[in-house]
Amino acid sequence: MPNSKTKMFNWEKMAQLSDSEIEQKIHDILKEMSLREKAELMAGDKSLLSAIGMLIHYNKEPIPAGVNERLGIPGILFTDGPRGVVLNHSTCFPVSIARGASWDTDLEERIGNIIGIEAKAQGANFFGGICINLLRHPAWGRAQETYGEDPYLLGAFGSALVRGTQNHVMACAKHYACNSMENARFKVDVNVSERTLREIYLPHFKKCVDEGVASIMNAYNKVNGYYCGHNSHLLRDILKDDWGFKGFVITDFLLGIRDGKKAIKAGVDIEMPYHWRMKAKKIVKWVEKGEISEDLIDGSVLRILRQLIKFSSKHDSDLYDPDKVASQEHIDVALEAARKSIVLLKNDNNLLPINKETVNKIAIIGKLANKENIGDLGSSLVYPPYVVTPLQGLKSIANKDTEIVYYEGKSIKEAQNIAQDADYVILVVGFTEKEEGEYVFTKGGDRESLGLTHKDEVLILKIAEITDNFVVIMEGGSAIITETWREKVPAILMAWYPGMEGGTALAEIMFGMVNPSGKLPVVFPKSQDQLPYFNMDAESIKYGYYHGYRLLDKEKSSPAFPFGFGLSYTSYSYRNLTLSKQTIHEGESLQISIEISNEGDYDGEEIIQLYVGYENSQVKRPIKELKGFRRVAIPAGDSKTVKIDIDSNELAYYDDQENKWIIEKIEYIVYVGPSSSDNAKLLSKKFQIQ
């Protein structure tokens, strides 16, 4: 091997290589590498001491792994997500669950494109923020980082974010797999059947793999007795063999693996953020002693090199100008996302929107009304140049002669006095990083209760005694139980953590400048009894086949607000459901057509949802499950015909006895409507697969 210190390979010149040329090139590079250099490619370049700095300011600069100056290998330069780039002062979008409520995958792809630009403009080539863990139970502290409870929705949004970010940088889908508990994430063993694993907890990862995602991050938890980073069934049998994944697997940080030798054998390619369990000298020793085959090391190195070359495009100083970070163009997309994400849950007697021209006095109450509340303070924390609070948004959009009175809400009596004199009362309540988020020492973690604090609930009830012109805005990362006060309040909005322009979007909706269009990506239950078992301190837990709307359908139980639910300032009607065929064959697609009419006075955007049910199946199946959706703009008084395709492969179930997917030759039911609820008057038609 040459001893020259001169760079042997120019990565930027490899940008235009074909797939076959890339395969040849990575083998050429491999031949030039010593065993030590191969091992050094397989871990982060930071020292253990860097963990202290990360606790002070995580990911302040890109985190390197596998940089090799002699060969010119750039390594990966990691930045986290998913609500934006976790470096410096980036654009802060609404959290992922809010974006899931937009049901707008085109928007999500544009957000990914912006994230990719801002990542590369700040020196990164790798985005670790495609978080697609399934929200099994809304108490999960990091629910805000994923898109909701449905694997189809997760797959659609995750693959859209992959497409957008990978216009510019490598993307990483995480946390693989069955990661949906926070406090116990380092120890919990998730017991799950093979069928449930394949149908419920993995399809969205498969969609990202099919989209060409560069990397997968393994989770901390165990699955069926093995840590995910030591789990060869997950990493080799399913990911690399069954799915044909050509990218590389990286660990979650610090405790992503416990044993380097086991991790390498199981299929881990890179330990992050530094050499610890997979130290280069250890790897060399294992190979020299015959404890690990060098073929395994070569396989990991080839996977890493393949992605580095695929994403080695020349740095375009105009496209990746640092001035584009948090530019007005990017902020405008963050505002669009906030507008589309906010869900109107209740609006009795059309209390909203507020007429700007006639309202004289508005009282806005609650400490969150004036707090920059953009999500938790863990690894997803973004540092935007500014944040518009609900109070600021209201003040900036209201007429100059409208009096805006703000009160934090410490005294219920004072809040009532203020409410009594106002034309409208807006109360902002919910959660912050203290109650939910990534568990860091005493902050964040899983929620102990899905309800608001007792103080917030009392405040709501006391203000409701004073006025009928009362709006409650909720901020949070997941479902909130509202039973103690919901019937007392005429208007309720779910704002989630709405990003840097959230206050602007809220005010625009309140004043009718924007018609609300978001719909829930997670069930809002009446009580926790409607949800699967959850124990935040569990060392072992069973994940069943049913959760969310699937579980409620099975139990014939009605939530407070169903999956897919959201109101508008206008009304829509559905008619003329037609199918392109009554019978299709395995491998064929079916096209569904539906006419939607906007029968109200406001232009709007409706989210059409398509579910499929199964008649006379030989195995347990959901009553119905999401298999398609479209977001469509419809002017007031207008109608549009929407077409949605169903791939018959999406209707298969996994036979864990035969270890294969089976498409049953039975009758299927198509349901189309504005939400998952039967009360939504879903239209239905049947078809067969032969």
Residues 560, 351: Cα–Cα separation, whole Å: 20
Beta-carbon contacts of 641 under 8 Å, excluding residues fewer than 6 positions away, are: 576, 593, 594, 595, 596
Residues 436, 438: Cα–Cα separation, whole Å: 7
Burial 210-229 (b: 16+ CB within 10 A, else e): ebbbbbbbbbbbbbeebbbb
Residue type at position 87: L
Residues 413, 168: Cα–Cα separation, whole Å: 55
274 φ/ψ angles, rounded to the nearest 5 degrees: -155, 170
- Give rounded-to-5 percent helix, strand, coil for the chain: 30, 25, 45
Torsion sign over Cα 200, 202, 208, 212: negative
Candidates 252, 269, 376, 553; catalytic one: 252
Residues 95, 81: Cα–Cα separation, whole Å: 10
CA neighbor of 648 nearest in space, from 686, 591, 610 = 591
3-class DSSP state of 401: coil
Beta-carbon contacts of 242 under 8 Å, excluding residues fewer than 6 positions away, are: none
Residues 376, 428: Cα–Cα separation, whole Å: 18
3-state secondary structure 528-578: HHHCCCCCCCCCEEEECCCCHHHHHHHHCCCCCECCCCCECCCCEEEEEEE
Residues 87, 91: Cα–Cα separation, whole Å: 10
Residues 592, 576: Cα–Cα separation, whole Å: 10
3-state secondary structure 635-650: CCCCEEEEEEEEEHHH
Encoded tokens for 58: 């995580």
Radius of gyration of the chain (CA): 26
Would residue 252 show up in a list of annotated catalytic residues for this protein? yes
191 φ/ψ angles, rounded to the nearest 5 degrees: -95, 120
Beta-carbon contacts of 332 under 8 Å, excluding residues fewer than 6 positions away, are: none
643 φ/ψ angles, rounded to the nearest 5 degrees: -115, 135
Enumerate the H helices of 267-384 as residue ranges.
280-288, 294-310, 328-341
Residue type at position 101: A
Question: Which residues are annotated as catalytic?
Answer: 252
